[in-house]
């Protein structure tokens, strides 16, 4: 999930129509110059309006769109009965088509070549339960194990982190074949039960690949990800299954620094380097970021040059025009959070949910939109702003208006 801080305020163009203020006086303009200025301003505004329409326009028909959801409680259910109850709610009550499940590589393969039996059994039980309920599964890999990590980065941590291993450091080049074997294992082991494998989560953010850029390579993270994608594709392909390989999984915003790369820049690098050979579908997380001036899904982000929301999703669609798109994370929070999501009222959350699905349906390439989460998350003992409040239910299980809005959407 995107853990982006609120973006800086974008500079807005200022147009003076009555003269230039100098201290307590104004310089007067001649009538002829004033007419010229008015004509120029009108032309500028017309151009801006036309650009905005062209930039955000979506096809008029509504295309089929599947509902997906992310719910960590599925992966953490204390008993089989608790997991079965969640699956019943997601499938029978909410009519969800897809569930996205995280595969923590460092937990699954703590030692090279040895998959942890308990972790495999946990994933098997969850996938089997979803499969039996007729729900499609997307597995998303994340978290580089210490044994696969490039240890030379461990002494150059981001601010507030101590030196040492962290799962966001890039994997060693010599470990890329191991990542490929992970893809092969997942494709073969879950053949017929899992419909899609997603290569990493939000690789344009530092919690998943750090650093994003170096003094010698502004595309360091994108280049690292491309190598991962090639290895993953090769491994999955060796399994000879029909599972979908999903690439991208980009977060909605980036400032093109060591911490975050904009989704546009990241995707353009992939497109220029023919990354489409290595995935069947592209994924993106088109959240409206915290700090946004405009909140609705059909309104532009603060800075469309470094942010891709549902409003300007075509920015990515046109880079991979032949690929289907899966929007594998989305949501609005109902409480302020430093971790994820824009805070809106519960009634606004429900309204924006409906609007988001309606807008996503207008893009022919978009096949599914995944809501994050079913239940709010509030870490025990942590400050309230460290929680995530995009859930359709509050943490205590109380349904929000969005629960009913989500249920009533077409499957």
Mean of pLDDT values over 320-331:
98
CB 35 within 8 A of CB 330: no
Mean of pLDDT values over 83-100:
98
Task: Tell me what the pLDDT averaged over the chain comes to.
Answer: 88
User: Encoding tokens for residue 298?
Assistant: 């059909």
CB 259 within 8 A of CB 206: yes
Mean of pLDDT values over 122-137:
98
Range with the lowest mean pLDDT among 4-13, 94-103, 235-244, 269-278? 4-13
143-159 pLDDT tens trace: 999 999 999 999 999 99
Mean of pLDDT values over 260-280:
98
State which of 11-25, 104-118, 378-392 shows the largest mean pLDDT: 104-118
pLDDT at 38 over 80: no
List the one residue out of 289, 285, 311 whose CA is nearest residue 300.
311
pLDDT given for residue 55 in this prediction:
42
pLDDT given for residue 19 in this prediction:
30
225 membership: H or E segment, kind and range: helix 220-238
State which of 47-51, 136-140, 379-383 shows the largest mean pLDDT: 136-140
pLDDT given for residue 340 in this prediction:
82
pLDDT given for residue 339 in this prediction:
86
Mean of pLDDT values over 48-76:
70
Residue ranges in 68-116 assigned as alpha helix (H): 72-76, 80-88, 105-108
150-203 pLDDT tens trace: 999 999 999 999 999 999 999 999 999 999 999 999 999 999 999 999 999 999
pLDDT given for residue 41 in this prediction:
36
pLDDT at 123 over 70: yes
Q: How far is CA 17 from CA 13, 26, 47, 103, 264, in A?
A: 13, 12, 17, 57, 35
pLDDT given for residue 328 in this prediction:
98
Range with the lowest mean pLDDT among 29-33, 353-357, 377-381? 29-33
pLDDT given for residue 411 in this prediction:
56
Tell me the whole-structure pTM to 2 decimals. Answer: 0.85
pLDDT given for residue 363 in this prediction:
97
pLDDT given for residue 83 in this prediction:
97
pLDDT given for residue 141 in this prediction:
98
Helical packing angle, 80-88 and 117-132, nearest 10°: 30
pLDDT given for residue 410 in this prediction:
74
Mean of pLDDT values over 7-12:
32
Percent of the chain scoring above 70 in pLDDT: 85
pLDDT given for residue 108 in this prediction:
98
List the one residue out of 395, 282, 408, 260 whose CA is nearest residue 335.
395
Q: What pLDDT band is residue 230 in, cutting at 50, 70 and 90?
A: very high
pLDDT given for residue 63 in this prediction:
86
CB 92 within 8 A of CB 393: no
User: Encoding tokens for residue 400?
Assistant: 């929000």
Mean of pLDDT values over 286-309:
96
pLDDT given for residue 12 in this prediction:
26
241-264 pLDDT tens trace: 999 999 999 999 999 999 999 999
Mean of pLDDT values over 288-313:
97
């Amino acid at each position: 999930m995107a853990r982006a801080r609120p973006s800086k305020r974008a500079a807005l163009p200022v147009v003076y129509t009555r003269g230039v203020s100098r201290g307590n006086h104004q310089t007067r303009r001649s009538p002829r110059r004033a007419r010229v200025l008015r004509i120029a301003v009108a032309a500028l505004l017309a151009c801006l309006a036309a650009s905005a329409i062209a930039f955000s326009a979506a096809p008029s028909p509504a295309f089929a769109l599947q509902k997906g959801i992310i719910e960590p409680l599925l992966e953490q259910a204390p008993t089989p009965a608790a997991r079965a109850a969640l699956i019943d709610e997601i499938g029978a009550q909410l009519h969800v088509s897809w569930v996205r499940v995280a595969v923590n590589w460092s937990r699954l393969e703590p030692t090279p070549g040895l998959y942890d039996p308990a972790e495999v059994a946990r994933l098997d039980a969850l996938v089997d339960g979803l499969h039996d309920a007729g729900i499609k599964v997307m597995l998303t890999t994340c978290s580089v194990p210490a044994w696969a990590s490039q240890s030379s980065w461990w002494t150059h941590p981001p601010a507030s982190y101590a030196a040492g291993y962290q799962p966001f450091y890039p994997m060693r080049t010599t470990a890329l074949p191991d990542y490929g074997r992970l893809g092969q294992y997942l494709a073969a082991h879950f053949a017929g039960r899992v419909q899609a494998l997603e290569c990493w989560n939000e690789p344009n953010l530092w919690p998943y690949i750090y650093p994003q850029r170096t003094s010698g390579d502004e595309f360091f993270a994108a280049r690292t990800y491309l190598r991962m994608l090639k290895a993953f594709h090769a491994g999955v392909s060796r399994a000879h299954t029909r599972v979908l390989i999903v690439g991208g999984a980009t977060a909605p915003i980036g400032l093109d620094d060591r911490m975050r790369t904009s989704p546009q820049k990241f995707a353009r690098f992939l497109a220029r380097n023919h990354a489409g050979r290595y995935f069947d579908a592209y994924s993106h997380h088109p959240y409206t970021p915290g700090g946004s001036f405009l909140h609705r899904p059909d309104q532009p982000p603060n800075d469309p040059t470094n942010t891709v929301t549902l409003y300007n999703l075509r920015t990515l669609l046109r880079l991979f025009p032949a690929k289907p798109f899966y929007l594998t994370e989305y949501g609005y929070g109902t409480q302020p959070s430093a971790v994820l999501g824009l805070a809106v009222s519960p009634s606004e959350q429900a309204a924006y949910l409906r609007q988001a699905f309606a807008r996503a349906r207008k893009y022919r390439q978009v096949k599914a939109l995944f809501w994050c989460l079913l239940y709010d998350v509030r870490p025990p003992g942590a400050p309230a702003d460290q929680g995530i409040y995009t859930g359709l239910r509050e943490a205590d299980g109380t349904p929000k208006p969005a629960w009913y809005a989500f249920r009533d959407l077409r499957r």
